[in-house]
Structures are given as C-alpha cells and as structure tokens.
Structure 1
Amino acid sequence: MSIRIPYDTVFSTVKQAFLQMGLSEEQAQQCAGIHTESSLEGIESHGLNRVPRFAEYVQKGWVDLNARPELVGAKGAVENYDGHLGIGVLNATFCMDRAIALAKEHGIGCVALKNTTHWMRGGSYAWQAAQAGFIGISWTNTESCMPMWGSKEPGVGNNPFCIAIPRKNGPIVLDMAMSQYAYGKLGVYRLAGKQLPFPGGFDKDGNLTSDPGAIEASGRILPTGYWKGSGMAIALDLAAAAMANGRTGADLDREARGSCTGCCQIFLAYDPYLFGDEESIQARWDDRVAAADATAPDREGGHVTCPGERTAATRARNMAEGIVVDEQIWQQILDLAAGKTDVKDISSACVLDNMTEEKKQ
C-alpha cells in the first residue's frame, strides 16, 4: 500500500537514517537529497526503495563510508578514478562534476570510474550535467542479471544508460536499463500488487509474462528490443571496463558481492554550443520536440511526450501532495532513522542477492 509523505519529512527522515548508518553530516545531506529527489520525481524504485538495501550493504562492509575517489590517470579531457568502494551516489556526483569541469576547459569531458558501488538513479547524473548547461551521458556495468538473447539464465547486466539534453524549455532526459524493466521497477509493481503495463520477462516455465513476481523468481527479465538490448548491454559493459580499466560484469559475477559492488561507470559532459550559437540550437531543439509531441496518440485521450518532459509535472504534484512511498518501505526507513539496524530490503525481493548467495554456497 502506498502513502504520501511531505517532502521535508521524507528528506529529514532519510537524512537521519543515513546519519544513523555512520555517514557524516555532509554525506547524509547529499545522499538524502539524491534519494528524496528521485522519489519526488516518480522514480521510487531507485529513490527511497533503495535506502534499506544501502543500509544492508553498509552493514555487510560492501560500502566504505570513508573512501573517496582517487585520481589514477589523466590525459587531456579524460580522467580515470578509483572509487575504492565508496558511496556510489557521492562517487558518481563527484565524477560528473569533474566531467563538467573538463568540458568547460576542453568542450568535452570524460571521466571513467572503477571500483565503485551502486549509483542508485542513474539519471541523476545526466540531469546534473543538463542543469549545468551540458549534454550529459553516463552508463554503468553491473553483475549478470539478464539473459543474453537466446539464453534462459542471466549472462549480462542490464547496464543502465542515460543521456540528457539541456533544453531550456525542459531538459530531455533518457534514463533506461537495457532490460524492459529494471528489477527495482519490478519491485515497485509487485509491492503495489499490480501487473506490468507490458510483458517484462519470462516465468519459470519460459512463458512471457507481465507478472513482476514471476519474473523476479525466474531471473529472466526481458532485454529491451530483445536481442538488441542484450547486445547493447554487453557492448556497454566492455566499453566501461576498458575505459575505466576495471571490472567487467563477469568479474563482478565471480566476486559475488551484490548489485554493482565494484562496478565501472562512465561520465561524459559535452558543450552543445561548440559549433553553433545557443539561440539557434535551443530553437532547433524546441522545434524537434514539438514535432515529436504533436504526433497522433495511439488511443483516444492519449498524450505523446519526449523523455523527461513529464518530470516537472510529477515533481510539482508530489511536492504539493506528498511523495508516494510504499508503506512497508517507509516503516523500514523510520526504523533506520530510529537506530534499528536489522532491516532487510524488501523492495526488490533481491533476486540478485539470492543468486549471489547461491553462488557463494
């Protein structure tokens, strides 16, 4: 069951939960901001729902609260950092800041990060670039949680990819996993007792299904675009590992420590006005978005939008009416804020963690 909680209450409670986990005042402030903003904008699967799992990983020692990104190499507009298994949100924010700084100097900036932890909502860092006036691109590799096309067992990560266009009349921001639905989104639908809008994977008997629990149980999420999604996933994995000189998804599988622990991430920022003036490029973007949005909807009363356009409306509604939170998740966050530490994340049924445990045995 979902409830609505005022923004300030959510932020202060999440921040207190992070302080109880041992984060500093500054760390807790920044992490609470990312998690709360994600849920405020309708991405609860990677916002508040991830707080209990983060607590679990801290308890297991899979996240080092004292670690900071270390520069290990730099060539022109490119830098490489070792995240030392620090807080993924903070590592990612730092690296996109560095990419933006490099882009201000060179026109384009690229930062590769290895040995980091889950960045939560990947789109946060694309938005970060767009809000600074730059085109932002970022992606991550993960452990295997999705079958390659033609397989019945996980063989590649769903490796989220994000791109943001800094349009002044509303940024266009794409944040997508290489699976039809990320596991976090499956958890959101399962907790709400809902079926997926479209088939998102296979059940244990190999039947395509919209039942999120059945897909979590089988571990057979559907690649976006079938073979295209799994093909993109393996390509993104290889590119990230090479650029960061870090682990591939197969390395993460062998280490078997849980979602994204030790992964590689890439952050790109690009000045959109290198070869054109701001006014004409913004006008061109507005014209293109307007043309796409004006196409005929597929059903009566439907409305076509480009990715990111509905974010402002979602944010405004949730700010006015309260952030949507699953009641069970909220209770776990309240327990964490009160100093109770024996809390397990129920938001994703932890198919990935279950597979990890099986590999250890």
Structure 2
Amino acid sequence: MFEKGYVDGGYVRVPGEELFSFIVRVLLKLGVPEEHAKIVADNLLMADLRGIESHGVQRLKRYVDGILSGGININPRIEILREGPSYALIDGDEGLGQVVGQRAMSLAIEKAKDSGIGVVAVRNSNHYGIAGYYALMAAREGMIGISMTNSRPLVAPTGGVERFLGTNPIALAAPTKDKPFLLDMATSVVPIGKLEVYRRKNKPIPEGWAIDAGGNLTRDVEAVFNEGALLPLGGLGELFGGHKGYGLSLMVDILSGILSGGTWSRHVKNTNERKSEVDHFFMAINIEAFTPLEEFKERMTKMIDEIKSSKKHPDFERIWIHGEKGFLTQETRLKIGIPIYKKVLKELDEIADKIGVDRIGGV
C-alpha cells in the first residue's frame, strides 16, 4: 500500500508487487488467462524496474485497447507451423506478444539444449514489450540469447522522410560470473515510447531524435506525431552512421518478418487493429556446445573488467557495460518502489474505473 502524493517532479513511487498485482487484475478482468496475465505483468514490471519507462506500465493502455477492440486475441492458438531439431516457425494467432514471445524463446532454449542452437521465427503476433526480457531467459539458462522484433512504421530510411521502418529493437544477453551482459537497443535513435514520455510531460525532445513532415530536424514532439518520423540510429544522413541504423532495422525486418512469412515494418499495424502482423525472431546458443560454460563466464568477466578499468574520458566518471545501469536501478527500485509519472497513474486509474477493478493502492 502507498499514499498518493507526488514526489520527484510529479512522480509517485509504487511498490513493484502492487504494480504487478494491478496489471494482473486488469488483464484477468478482460478475460486473459492468469498464466498469460502474469507473463505480461512480469515483462512490463521488468521494464519499469530497470528504468525503461517507455516500455513499462505506461504501455498497459495499449494492450487494454487492443483487447477491447479485438486486435489482440486473449486465447490464441499458438501453432508450430514448421519444425526441425534446431529451428521452428510459429504462428502467434494475434496473441499478446509477451505470451507468444515467451513460448517462442522457451522453444528456442529447449532446442539449443539438444542441438547446440535454437532458432525460432514468429509471425502474426503483437507488441512484445522489451526485447531484453527474452534474451535474458536464455542467459539464465547459461546460454547466449538473441531477440528482435519488427514494429509499426515510425522511422524514416536514410535519404527519406516517410515513416517506413519500425524502431525494430535488437537484444543480446550473455552470462558472466556476475550479472549478465545485456544489450537491448532500438535501431532508431530512440524508441517511440520515449517521445510518448516527453509528450506526457509537455517537454521538447532533444534535437537529432526526429524530423518533421518536411524532413527538418525538430524538437516539437507534436510535429513528429503529426506526420513526422523518428531517425535511424546514427541520425540524419550518413555523416554519423544513420545508414548503419537503417541497415540494422532492415536486418530485423528480414529475420523477423520476411523469414517468418510475415511482413515488414511498412505494413505492420497498431495493436488495436486486427492482423497487426508483428513478427519476432529468437535465437538461443548453447555455450557448452562451443566452450565450457564456466570458462565462457570467466572470459566474459575478464573482458568486462578490462573495459571498465581502461583509461576514462575526462568528462566521464566511469565506463558502463550494457545492462549494468538497469540491474543497479532494479536493485534500488525493488527496495524503494517504482516511480510512476502522474499522468500515467491517472491513466491507470481511468483503466481501473472503466473495467471495474481496484485502482493501484486500492484507492
């Protein structure tokens, strides 16, 4: 239980278990099976615990709207269409992306245990939350995990102004002797969720994130939502490598969409539309098939230690390793709660009232 009262610039801290419970009861009320509701809640909670506000509980409305509109199938028949010792193709039957994704990565892990590697492509799914959730599933099993997904068009290709690419994230996790290495990144400069955060706070976005409809760099978040576009990783043009982010985004579309027999970002729809056509790609690599697991962890740890102990730039206090900030943030938020922005909390209250469940905190 917590007392409402905004702190830290309009945020209120909510215990993680209360947030998890709220998500579950909302989804249960909408008819989602309990096991599936808990998978979605775990995914959203992990994002908020790790400080990825753009993919946490603020995404719940998207799923609620998708279920109410019929765009998300709450009882999907997830079907294996093709399968071999080290691969599978799955149809997600328009289910919740987290549920489809958890099933697919679990299958990839099982195949990797037997064959050394497991690759699972998925078509006909929905938004699956943070990519790192699935990569970490493999790392916890002593494997290297890779996860990626295409998404609706929000990003302009290098040399263009039209929304054509998705933010198409890529995640890779690998075990070490301590916390896993976790790279979890969009192939755009930022994910659209970050712009949604700035929009809620009525703040201008940093220059270099996006362009308006005419192709001009803009800090006006409304200009981006009004026929503007995000930029690929590397930014506008080729000078700082925008063409590389553009290429990485296409790589995700090839592995997630075209390989699976699904589609590519240009044709992916919103979650609340039927046949949103989101597609995923998962890979699990059994380290023991290549090298002893403990030796791999030792070498990973040594590499990380060497990087972190290398000479620092004068403007930086330390060198971070991918995933490290998230694990530290998670440890803190498990103790003191998760900061939820006031407009997000208001939105969650409205969801609770609309479908008839207790609000967060029972208020």
TM-score under structure 2 normalisation? 0.87
* 1:195–1:211 Cα contact (<8 Å) kept: yes
Task: Name the aligned partner's letter for residue 121 of structure 2.
Answer: A
Partner residue, 1:359: none
How far apart are the structure 2 equivalents of 1:270 and 1:197? 38
String of CA shifts for 1:99-131, please: whole Å, max 9, x gaps: 000000001101111101110111111111111
The alpha-carbon deviation at position 212 of structure 1 amounts to 4.2
* 2:127–2:271 Cα contact (<8 Å) kept: no
The alpha-carbon deviation at position 227 of structure 1 amounts to 1.1
How far apart are the structure 2 equivalents of 1:302 and 1:189? 27
How far apart are the structure 2 equivalents of 1:92 and 1:117? 9
Partner residue, 1:176: 185
String of CA shifts for 1:298-347, please: whole Å, max 9, x gaps: 44452211110122210111112210112121222233234438xxxxxx
How far apart are the structure 1 equivalents of 2:113 and 2:226? 47
Task: Name the aligned partner's letter for residue 252 of structure 2.
Answer: L
Residue-pair matches, total: 340
How far apart are the structure 2 equivalents of 1:195 and 1:281? 44
Distance 1:174 1:258, change over 3 A: farther
Q: For residues 173-322 of structure 1, what are the structure 2 equivalents within 5 Å?
A: 173-196=182-205, 199-204=208-213, 206-225=215-234, 226-252=242-268, 261-300=276-315, 302-322=317-337
Distance 1:106 1:246, change over 3 A: same
How far apart are the structure 1 equivalents of 2:298 and 2:339? 35
Partner of 1:273, secondary structure, is helix
The alpha-carbon deviation at position 29 of structure 1 amounts to 2.1
Q: Which runs of 5+ in 1 are unaligned?
A: 342-361
How far apart are the structure 1 equivalents of 2:303 and 2:289? 20
Partner residue, 2:152: 143
Distance 1:314 1:307, change over 3 A: same
Partner of 1:305, secondary structure, is coil
Please give the root-mean-square deviation of Cα atoms over the aligned residues, in Å: 2.3
Q: Which residue of 341, 351, 357 corresponds with 1:336? A: 351
String of CA shifts for 1:280-310, please: whole Å, max 9, x gaps: 2212111111122223444445221111012
How far apart are the structure 1 equivalents of 2:35 and 2:272? 27
How far apart are the structure 1 equivalents of 2:180 and 2:203? 30
The alpha-carbon deviation at position 213 of structure 1 amounts to 4.4
Partner residue, 1:9: 18
The alpha-carbon deviation at position 79 of structure 1 amounts to 0.7
Please say if 1:325 is aligned against 2:340: yes
Partner of 2:123, secondary structure, is strand
* 1:40–1:318 Cα contact (<8 Å) kept: yes
The alpha-carbon deviation at position 190 of structure 1 amounts to 3.2
* 2:62–2:272 Cα contact (<8 Å) kept: no
Q: Which moved more, 1:208-217 or 1:219-228?
A: 208-217
Q: Which residue of 86, 101, 111 corresponds with 1:92? A: 101
Q: Which residue of 68, 74, 81 corresponds with 1:72? A: 81
Partner residue, 1:351: none
